[in-house]
Amino acid sequence: MTPTGSALKPMVTKLAQRTALGPAERDALMSLPHRTAQLRRGAFIAREGEKSLRCCLLLSGFAYRHKMTGDGARQILAVHVQGDLIDLQNGLLAQADHNLQPLTGIEVAFIPHEAILAVAEAFPQVARALMADLAATGSMLGEWLLNVGRRNARERICHLLCELALRQEAAGIRVGGDYAWPITQEQLGDATGLTSVHINRTLQGLRREGILSTSSRRVTVTNWGRLREQGDFTPDYLHLPGQEEDEDEARSLGSPQPA
């Protein structure tokens, strides 16, 4: 257990964006016992069917949640960026219902579930913040379900492209017009319910039409307006701060590159 409470700051910031937290509550969260660790690709943070013992704050890098069908097909349920509190769900349930793995090399802080629940017990606003976080997670899953169930290949991909751009922006890890793309085409297929081959051809179409370009592990969007339009993207479901007045933020996704 490292005593550097400041490592947990991103978590507090994030929770406080959705639910007001006072100084005492922030302090309690900041001083939660935790242990940081580096994990590399291929490691497991949680495994389907196992009991999850600790919850996990993503400090840097990207991670993803996924589960599999009986015959081995995989569906990615979410991609996580730094600052995300992951594996809280699994701790509340008798057993983890999905796998959680790094997408890149990552740095995490492990926090025992009991500790975080104890803070929630002492501070009702913290409990409420955690509930809001769970609800937001559910909301994102719902949008993914809509995406996979009712949009075509191009729309699905554009939608996901938009989501990751906006979430990286919200997490403060966007520099300019381009952003990290930590996902392979195979994984992109598993996130959208498509084949990597079809992902490849669809991406080629997007590049051909000048909507985006890719270089090593990064995407540069050259036409935000079309990307958003083709992805049928509305950011409400992300429940990011400062989005109460709908349309405002939807437009701001286009702002980095004024069409």
Binding residues vs a second copy (CB under 8 A): 49, 65, 67-71, 73-75, 77, 88-90, 92-95, 97-98, 117, 120-121, 124, 127-128, 130-132, 134-139, 141-146, 148-151, 155, 190, 192-193, 232, 234, 236-237, 239, 243-244, 246
Among 95, 184, 213, 255, binds DNA (CB under 7 A): 184
174 binds DNA (CB under 7 A): no
Give the one entry of DNA, a second copy, none that residue 200 binds, where binding means its C-beta sits below a cut-off of 5 to 8 angstroms depending on kind.
Answer: DNA
Picked from DNA, a second copy, none, the partner binding residue 97 (CB below 5 to 8 A depending on kind) is a second copy
- CB-CB contact of 214 with 161 (8 Å): no
CA atoms within 13 A on the CB side of 139: 13
Question: What is the Cα–Cα distance from 25 to 31, expressed in whole angstroms?
Answer: 10
- Count CB atoms within 10 A of the CB of residue 225: 15
Contacts of 185 (CB under 8 A, 6+ apart): 196, 199, 200, 203
By CB under 7 A, residue 48 contacts DNA = no
Site string for DNA, 139-158 (x = CB under 7 A): -------------xxx----
Tell me the one-letter amino acid at 146. L
Three-state DSSP state, 178: strand
Which is closer to DNA, CB of 99 or CB of 185? 185
Question: Strand pairing partners for 64?
Answer: 79, 101
Q: Footprint of DNA on residues 62-81 (CB under 7 A)?
A: none
Q: Does residue 216 bind DNA (CB under 7 A)?
A: yes
Classify residue 41 by its DSSP letter. Answer: T
Cβ atoms 193, 156 nearer than 8 A: yes
| Nearest residue (CB) to a second copy, 49 versus 172 | 49
Q: Two tokens at 83?
A: 């600052």
Q: Is the dihedral of CA 46, 48, 50, 53 positive or negative?
A: positive
Nearest CA among 105, 116, 91 for reference residue 32: 116
Q: How far apart are CB 63 and DNA at their closest, in Å?
A: 15
Applying CB under 7 A, the span of 119-127, 138-146, 194-202, 238-246 interacting with DNA comes to 194-202
Of the pair 97, 232, the CB lying nearest DNA is at 232
Shortest spacing between CB 56 and a second copy, in angstroms: 15
